[in-house]
Amino acid sequence: MFSRFLKATAVAALLLSPAVASAQCIPAISDDNLVEKGKLLLSINPTNPPQQFVDKDGNLRGLNVELAAELGKRICMPIELVRMDFPGMIPAMNAGRIDGLNTGMFWNEERSKLMYTVPYGRQSVSVVVAPNSGTTYSKPEELLGKVSAVEVSSYQMNWLKKFSEERVAAGGKAVDIRTFPTATNVVSALLAGQVDNAFLVDSVARDLVGKGKVKEALTGLGAARTTLAFRNKAVADAIVKGLNEMRADGTYQALFDKFGLTALPPEQPLEIAGPGPA
């Protein structure tokens, strides 16, 4: 059933962890807790470097890709990453097509009631402009009345929408928000001159700044935790255990340092956050 779904929607998948050869390595998750026997299926949207992206050879790369590979070793089973756009991920999980999300999603209380969320990092939102633009912003209020591009159904879209509505309620102008399917589309609209600025996750913005493709005009907006998410608590519990093993032996911090991303501080636990689905 799921293979037919993949074919019908042209979703690509990558097997990240080989079959476990050691008889001493016992899978941490039983088959009755999985969508497909013997492996964990997690969605990913590889358009947000360095968190997750596709290299010139078509291979998945980035922090979330290597995190999944390492967790696969810890739970003694392969983790398969299923490529799809973000808006379809939660419906796919609810329909029993994937076991969870591994795409750098921002944590919020509402999402923590829909699935078992396991925060594992921290990011914020940046505003970028074209590389040859002289535009700078000293505060978010200077975005009012401007045309802003943002990824649909994303944390940054929700932050921007709330910010705009609050300023309108106070008598100010609205932000003219234009939504696009992916961060790649957002940047393309910016560079084509269709919008004044674009909202991106800060790590994505800085990766593009480093490549000379955009200029960062404002950053540090809406700082929040990023989270993994799962449909089944047994799966979430196994991932939590794996993450804490990685933190204890230094693998967790080393992975974030490698990609220049922000790990949760030692005093902040790696655990399920929120009640999970009712």
Structural domain containing residue 76: 32-122+223-257
**How many independent structural domains does the chain possess?**
2
Residues 107 and 177 in one domain: no
Asked if residue 25 belongs to a domain, the reply is: no
Residues 211 and 231 in one domain: no
Chain-centre distance for alpha carbon 108: 13
What's the DSSP call for residue 270?
-
Asked if residue 276 belongs to a domain, the reply is: no
> Which amino acid would we find at residue 207?
D
> At 154, which CATH number?
3.40.190.10
Asked if residue 131 belongs to a domain, the reply is: yes
Residues 231 and 210 in one domain: no
Residues 162 and 216 in one domain: yes
Residues 217 and 129 in one domain: yes
Distance CA 190, CA 248 (A): 42
Residues 146 and 200 in one domain: yes
* Contact (Cβ atoms closer than 8 angstroms) between residue 250 and residue 94: no
* Contact (Cβ atoms closer than 8 angstroms) between residue 89 and residue 153: no
Q: What global pTM score does this model have? A: 0.85
Query: pLDDT digit of tens for each residue in the chain (278 aa)?
Result: 444 444 334 344 444 544 444 457 999 999 999 999 999 999 999 999 999 999 999 999 999 999 999 999 999 999 999 999 999 999 999 999 999 999 999 999 999 999 999 999 999 999 999 999 999 999 999 999 999 999 999 999 999 999 999 999 999 999 999 999 999 999 999 999 999 999 999 999 999 999 999 999 999 999 999 999 999 999 999 999 999 999 999 999 999 999 999 999 999 999 999 999 97
Residues 62 and 193 in one domain: no
Of 81, 89, 118, nearest in space to 270 by CA: 118
Distance CA 35, CA 190 (A): 39
Asked if residue 275 belongs to a domain, the reply is: no
